[in-house]
Every structure is written in C-alpha cells, then in structure tokens.
Amino acid sequence: MTPLWRDIIEEFPSALSREPVEPHVLGRLEQLLGLALPGELNALLLESDGLLDTYGTEVVWSAERILGDNLSFRGDEQLRSLYLPFDSLLFFGDNGGGDQFAFACGHLRDEVFVWDHETDERSLVSPTLESFVRSALSSDGEDWYR
C-alpha cells in the first residue's frame, strides 16, 4: 500500500515540502525518459513536488529536476567515458555532496540505491522509498546511508 506522503512529511517538522506536481508533468517525464516512474515516487510527487531536509538538501528532487538530471547523466559523453552506463538508474535525489539516489529501472522492486560519484559503486541503501525518506529526514548529516 502506498503511504500517504503528507502524513509522513508532517512527522518531520523541519522537512520542507512543495506543492503537488501536475499529473501531465509526470506523464511528460515518463515519456521523455522512456520509463514508468516507480509507484511510490509517483505518489510522493503527486503530493509534494520534491522534498527538502533540515539542511536544504533535496532528499527527493522535483519532477523537472528528475527529468533534467537523468537526461544529463544519460547524455553526457564525459560521464559515459568515466562511469558505467546510467540508463539502468532513475536518479531522484542526492546527498548534497555528489552521491545520487536512484531506483533501478526495469525492475519491479521498490529498493533505493546510491551511486557513489567517486567510486562509481551502486549500493542498496533502503528497501523502499518510504524507508529512505524516513532515514534521510531523521539523519543529521549528508552520509547517513553509509
């Protein structure tokens, strides 16, 4: 069952939510990226178009940033020469220090992974987006997932 994101966000008074995204924006994002958004991410964006923590870090990016950053990662020739392909990942947030959080594309799993920008490692950090959001919002630093 998809959580009610507004209820979860309200548990963390220092979290900053945004206005909901319009459904047509998510449709455009899916069309341009050629994939369906994971259900939890879709539901969160329909309640809050992104989510910031106490420090102003975008725990979950806005739909427009999700689109822009994913297109950038996938289309950048320099990144392609340095790292494994990014086509299998859907980036949706970061830690404010360079590491990116993502879902694995094409899998019917809700797990959240982190891409380490220094080592190109891709590691599991959370079994669900809900667990990820709760951990990120209750942490006191950018490397809570290590």
Q: Where are the domains of the chain?
A: 5-138
φ, ψ (nearest 5 deg) of residue 4: -85, 105
Question: What's the average model confidence in pLDDT over 11-23?
Answer: 92
pLDDT in tens, 73-106: 999 888 888 989 898 899 999 988 889 999 998 7
The pTM (predicted TM-score) of the whole model is 0.91
One-letter amino acid for residue 89 of the chain: L
Closest among 113, 143, 110, 136 to 50, alpha carbons compared: 136
**How would residue 1 be classed by pLDDT, with cut points 50, 70 and 90?**
very low
* Cα 77 from Cα 134, distance rounded (Å): 35
* CATH ID of 5-138, from 3.30.1440.10, 3.40.120.10, 3.30.1330.10, 3.40.1580.10: 3.40.1580.10
φ, ψ (nearest 5 deg) of residue 60: -130, 125
Please give the pLDDT value at position 2. Answer: 54
